[in-house]
Amino acid sequence: MARLRDGTTTLTILPAPDHVPVPARRPARRAGTGPATGTPRAAGAAGRSGAERAEPRRSEPPGPTTVPLEIAASLRARTRGLLGRDGIEGAILLTPANSVHTFRMGFPIDVAYLSWDLRVLAVRTMRPGRMGRPRFRARHVLEAEAGAMARWGLRRGSRARIG
């Protein structure tokens, strides 16, 4: 990845892969028997056929989301960050960084810790006056207003693309 400089651009959020476990197929059982013992079921427990079993709900994966991005790569821009602002349209990327604080901030923020290849390692919501613990594998920190990252579908395992 090219060296990032202060400025504004866009951030494209690619959804995380869906890890819905697929249930293992079980051998067929005789109707009216318990799970493994072959004992009769309790009264009122009707057996369900394979077609009636609830399948895990799989939704269509959301497409990429694009949001305005401000890059803070210089020491001066990283130090200022979101201090003194009433809000932010989009997000701000602090690079290099692996920890943030919310001292003297007027609003709660969402914080995403990103690896060197812009994969999301963790997402946290921080209230004003808090110190975030350092994430030693993080190379970048993405900040936005509280609730924004959930709306964008940003979660652990998601990928981001700048520009």
Read off the pLDDT of residues 114-134 as tens digits, 9 standing for 90 and up.
999 999 999 999 999 999 999
pLDDT at site 122 = 95
149 falls within a domain:
yes
Q: Residue 82: which domain range?
A: 7-11+66-162
Confidence grade of residue 31 (pLDDT, cut at 50, 70, 90):
low
Instruction: Band the pLDDT of 22: cuts 50, 70, 90.
Output: very low
> Once rounded to an integer, what is the mean pLDDT over residues 103-122?
94
Q: How far apart are CA 141 and CA 118, in angstroms?
A: 10
Instruction: Using only the alpha carbons of the chain, give its radius of gyration.
Output: 23
76 in any annotated domain:
yes
Strands 91-94 and 65-72: parallel
The strand pairing partners of 5, in sequence order, are: none
Asked, for residue 36, whether it belongs to a domain, the answer is no
| CA separation, residue 9 to residues 4, 80, 90, 104, 105 (Å) | 11, 19, 10, 26, 24
pLDDT at residue 143 greater than cutoff 90: yes
Q: Considering the domain boundaries, does residue 43 fall inside one? A: no
pLDDT in tens, 79-100: 888 888 888 899 999 999 999 9
33-83 residue pLDDT tens: 555 555 555 555 455 555 555 555 544 456 889 999 999 999 999 988 888
CATH code assigned at 125: 2.60.120.1140
Q: What percent of the chain has pLDDT over 90?
A: 53
Q: Which of 37-41, 104-108, 136-140 has the lowest mean pLDDT?
A: 37-41
Q: Which residues pair with 12 in a beta bridge?
A: 66, 161
- State both tokens at 143: 């900040």
pLDDT of residue 6: 85
CB distance 95 to 4 below 8 Å = yes
**What confidence score (pLDDT) does residue 20 get?**
41
Indicate if the pLDDT at residue 10 is higher than 50: yes
**Do the beta carbons of residue 123 and residue 41 sit within 8 Å?**
no
Token couple for 138 = 């993080």
Examine residue 20 and state whether it is found in any structural domain, yes or no.
no
Number of domains in the chain: 1
Tell whether 142 is covered by a domain: yes
The predicted model gives 134-163 an average pLDDT of 94
Residue 74 covered by a domain: yes
Residue 45 falls inside a structural domain: no
> Edge-to-edge strands of the sheet including 140-145?
120-126, 109-114, 140-145, 91-94, 65-72, 7-14, 159-162
